[in-house]
Amino acid sequence: MKKKITLILATVCLIITPLSSTDYDWGGALQNTTGTDNTDGWSITQVDSISLWAEINANELFNLKAAGGYRLLYEDGVLSHIPEFSALYAYGGKDGVSYKAGRFNMSDSSKTLFSTIIDGFDLKIQTQKMLLGMGVGFTGIVFSDNSTVTMTAKDYEAIINDALFASPRLAEYAEASFFVLPGDGSLNVSFLAQQDLRAASSLVSQEGLLHSFYLNLGMKGRLASILYYNLYTIGEIGTYHMAADSRSLLLIAGAGGLELKIPFNSPIKPLLSFDLYFSSGDNWERTNHKGSFIDVGKTTLYQYTPFSGKSKGYVYNVSTGNLIYGDVSFSITPASFLSVSASSLTMFRPVDGPVSTLPVSEGDTGAFLGEEFTVAFNIKPLSDLGFQVKSGVFIPNSSVVANGVQFKVSGFMSLSF
């Protein structure tokens, strides 16, 4: 932890010193989240954070931006100090060509394939009818507490052991979007490759290295002004290299989804949203949701494993492998400072096997996992001040998911400056 704090302070000093004599913009935010739930016995979680950002706008070809902060997390009776260093990059562009270089959040344009903090380079070329993008990055010097890249049991083990840095993975992506559909819609294709750069000698029995490739095809846009859509499908192929017996397992997996938003013409701005999703999964021969510890007789795996963590659910936050869900939400804005939303999330699993977070035991063969209902009130009395109160209940299929009915409630405050 002391190493993390020292690195943050040194970086801030390097940023602020040249800014003292340069015209620049800066800002920040104070945030607080307090919540309680009974997913593992009643407990209180408290998160307090401060974040700062600074930006130099030198010219159209070269600009600098930096962002970082500090977070205090109280959970399960333990207080954690978490420094955050989310951005330090140069950027610019001209005549439809733009770039980023340094530490930033890299993603495909639709953010359905991946989105994560990374150190690397990103280049985009855009015309009226087309967008081309490509990038390369390394995750291994991002603080582990700031990273969303958790693909294997080895990655989770590093987090549990309070490792300084995230798993060392190299990622390369390329994408193309063609703006040829009605309603400013686009056809999108994106490719991502990632390699685990750990040495095989660092693994113990039943741990593995995962290398994988992804191909994402999609289309998004709007029909008139009454329907916004995002349809996508992802294929994943890769290999698990196991340390126990030097075997290599084939990974073939996939996911897909459809997001719809229907705004209604009314003074209270009603919005109806649908989010449908499917991902492939493995049965209990793969003995945990995170990979590794795989049955010796297994040669092919089917568990979809996204490069950057993606999850669903408020009471139970479930990662998107071996999961099918349908989410319906409705929101209104009865006043300029107030919005109210309600949602219903229905979860299934395509394969009788493990699901992250949910306490599913081997032998429970049902596909239906449970139903979650949430209600949220968002209040923004000032442009820089916002509050949220949110509550939810998860009603499980009692023959599949243990622990009974689960509840969660939380309050959130954000003050920007």
In the chain the domains, ranked by start, together with CATH numbers, are: 2-416 (2.40.160.100)
What pLDDT sits at residue 346?
98
**Residue 221: both structure tokens together:** 């846009």
Mean pLDDT of 46-53: 97
Residue 153 in this model has a pLDDT that exceeds 50: yes
Mean pLDDT of 40-60: 94
Identify the CA nearest to 44 among candidates 78, 71, 72, 80.
78
Residue 293 in this model has a pLDDT that exceeds 80: no
Residue 289 in this model has a pLDDT that exceeds 90: no
Per-residue pLDDT tens over the stretch 206-242: 788 999 999 999 999 999 888 999 999 999 999 988 8
Buried b (16+ CB within 10 A) or exposed e, 48-62: ebebbbbbbeeeeee
What pLDDT sits at residue 21?
45
Residue 279 exposed, middle or buried by CB count within 10 Å (0-12, 13-18, 19+): buried
Per-residue pLDDT tens over the stretch 302-342: 999 999 978 899 999 998 889 999 999 999 999 999 999 99
Report whether 249 contacts 240 (CB < 8 A). Answer: yes
Residue 263 in this model has a pLDDT that exceeds 80: yes
Dist CA 11 CA 145 (whole Å) = 17
Residue 179 in this model has a pLDDT that exceeds 80: yes
Report whether 11 contacts 85 (CB < 8 A). Answer: yes
For the chain, the first-to-last Cα distance in angstroms comes to 28
Buried b (16+ CB within 10 A) or exposed e, 381-415: eeeeebbbebbbbbebbeebbeeeebebebebebe
Average pLDDT over the chain reads 90
| Chain mean position to CA 2 | 27
pLDDT band at 13 (very low <50, low <70, confident <90, very high): low
- Collapse the DSSP code of 314 into the 3-class scheme (helix H, G, I; strand E, B; otherwise coil) and give the result: coil
- Collapse the DSSP code of 315 into the 3-class scheme (helix H, G, I; strand E, B; otherwise coil) and give the result: coil
pTM (global) more than 0.75: yes
